[in-house]
C-alpha cells in the first residue's frame, strides 16, 4: 500500500473512530497505521462530531426532572462562594411622587451647578428608568410585550404595582407602591418569572431593595435566563443576596400574565 493510500485509509478509519463505530479489526488497523504513519487521532473530527451532537441535543433538548435539579443545586452549594452570595445587587431605582419628582429635578439641576458628578449620574439613571418604563408601557398592545398588575398576598394587602416585560428586548420594569422598606442586611426582595417554556423552576428576575414605602419605586427586571413566554411574576422576600430556588416562605405578590 502506498503512503498516500495509507493516509487515506487512516483518515477513513479515524472518521470511524470519531463516530465510535470501529470494529475490533478496524481498531487494530488504526493502531498499526497510526504507528506506521506516526499519526494521531484528529481532534478536528472529534470536534465536528461533538458539535453535531451538541447542536442536535440543543434542538431536541429534554428537561431535567425537578428532583434532579434539586440534587444539582445541592451539589453546587459546595462551590458557591459565600462572599458572593451575600453581595446585594442593589438595582432598585425609586420613582418618586410628583412632588418628590419635582424636588428630584431641582436637585438634578442644582447638581449641574455644584458639579457633583456622582449624584448627577444617579439622577439621570432614575429618570432614565422611568422614561424607559413609560416607553415600554406604551408598547403594551404588542403581542411580545406583557403588562399586568400585581396582587399583594394577605400580609401585603396594601401593596400595589404592575410589571411590564418585553420578550424581544429581554427587559422590563416593575412599578411598586406600598411595599415596606427592607433592611438589606436582614432580608431582600426577589422577583421570579414563571416561564414553563423556558425552565421548570421560576427564573430569577433579580434581587432588589425598597428604601421607602412612600411613592412608587421603579425596579428594572434582571432576568437571569432568556424569557420566552412569561406566565406570571412573583415577588418573594428572601435572605440577603437572594436564593437560587425560593421556598416561597414569604410571597409578597403575584402578577398573572393573561
The radius of gyration of the chain from alpha carbons, rounded to an integer in Å, stands at: 28
69 makes contact with another protein (CB under 8 A): yes
Pick the closer one to another protein by CB: 203 or 232: 203
Contacts of 155 (CB under 8 A, 6+ apart): 250
Q: Decide if residue 21 touches another protein (CB under 8 A).
A: yes
Residue from the set 2, 60, 143, 258 that interacts with another protein by CB under 8 A: 60
Q: Kindly state whether residue 23 participates in binding another protein, applying the rule CB under 8 A.
A: yes
Residues 6+ apart with CB under 8 A from 196: 229, 231
Using the rule CB under 8 A, give the single segment among 126-134, 140-148, 158-166, 199-207 that binds another protein.
Answer: 199-207
Among 162, 167, 201, 209, binds another protein (CB under 8 A): 201
Q: Contact region for another protein (CB under 8 A) — 130-138, 195-203, 209-217, 229-237? A: 195-203
Q: How many residues contact another protein, by CB under 8 A?
A: 69
Nearer to another protein, 45 or 127 (CB): 45
Stretch that binds another protein, among 64-72, 92-100, 111-119, 145-153 (CB under 8 A): 64-72
Taking the CB of residue 145, how many other CB atoms lie within 10 A of it?
18
71 binds another protein (CB under 8 A): yes
| Residue 85 touches another protein, criterion: CB under 8 A | yes
The verdict on 46 binding another protein (CB under 8 A) reads: yes
User: Quick one: which of 1, 32, 36, 72 contacts another protein (CB under 8 A)?
Assistant: 72
Near another protein by CB under 8 A, which window of 65-73, 101-109, 113-121, 177-185?
65-73
CA distances from 67 to 70, 72, 193 (A): 5, 9, 20
Q: Write out the residues near another protein by the rule CB under 8 A.
A: 11-12, 15-24, 26-27, 30-31, 34, 40-65, 68-69, 71-73, 75-76, 78-81, 84-85, 198-201, 203-204, 224-225, 241-245
Amino acid at each position: 500500500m502506498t503512503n498516500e493510500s495509507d493516509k487515506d485509509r487512516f483518515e477513513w478509519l479515524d472518521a470511524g473512530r470519531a463516530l465510535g463505530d470501529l470494529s475490533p479489526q478496524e481498531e487494530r488497523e488504526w493502531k498499526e497505521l497510526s504507528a506506521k504513519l506516526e499519526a494521531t487521532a484528529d481532534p478536528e473530527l472529534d470536534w465536528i462530531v461533538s458539535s453535531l451532537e451538541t447542536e442536535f441535543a440543543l434542538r431536541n433538548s429534554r428537561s431535567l426532572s425537578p428532583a434532579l435539579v434539586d440534587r444539582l443545586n445541592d451539589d453546587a452549594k459546595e462551590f458557591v462562594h459565600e462572599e458572593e452570595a451575600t453581595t446585594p445587587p442593589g438595582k432598585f431605582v425609586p420613582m418618586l411622587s410628583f412632588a418628590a419628582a419635582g424636588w428630584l429635578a431641582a436637585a438634578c439641576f442644582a447638581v449641574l451647578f455644584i458639579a457633583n458628578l456622582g449624584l448627577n449620574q444617579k439622577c439621570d439613571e432614575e429618570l432614565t428608568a422611568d422614561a424607559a418604563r413609560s416607553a415600554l408601557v406604551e408598547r403594551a398592545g404588542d403581542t411580545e410585550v406583557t403588562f399586568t398588575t400585581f396582587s399583594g398576598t394577605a400580609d401585603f394587602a396594601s401593596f400595589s404595582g404592575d410589571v411590564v416585560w418585553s420578550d424581544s428586548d429581554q427587559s422590563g420594569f416593575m412599578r411598586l407602591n406600598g411595599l415596606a422598606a427592607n433592611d438589606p442586611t436582614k432580608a431582600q426582595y426577589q422577583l421570579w418569572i414563571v416561564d414553563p417554556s423556558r425552565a421548570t423552576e421560576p427564573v430569577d428576575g433579580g434581587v432588589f431593595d425598597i428604601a421607602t414605602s412612600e411613592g412608587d419605586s421603579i425596579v428594572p427586571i434582571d432576568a437571569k435566563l432568556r424569557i420566552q413566554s412569561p406566565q406570571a411574576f412573583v415577588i418573594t422576600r428572601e435572605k440577603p443576596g437572594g436564593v437560587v430556588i425560593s421556598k416561597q416562605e414569604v410571597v409578597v405578590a403575584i402578577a398573572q400574565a393573561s
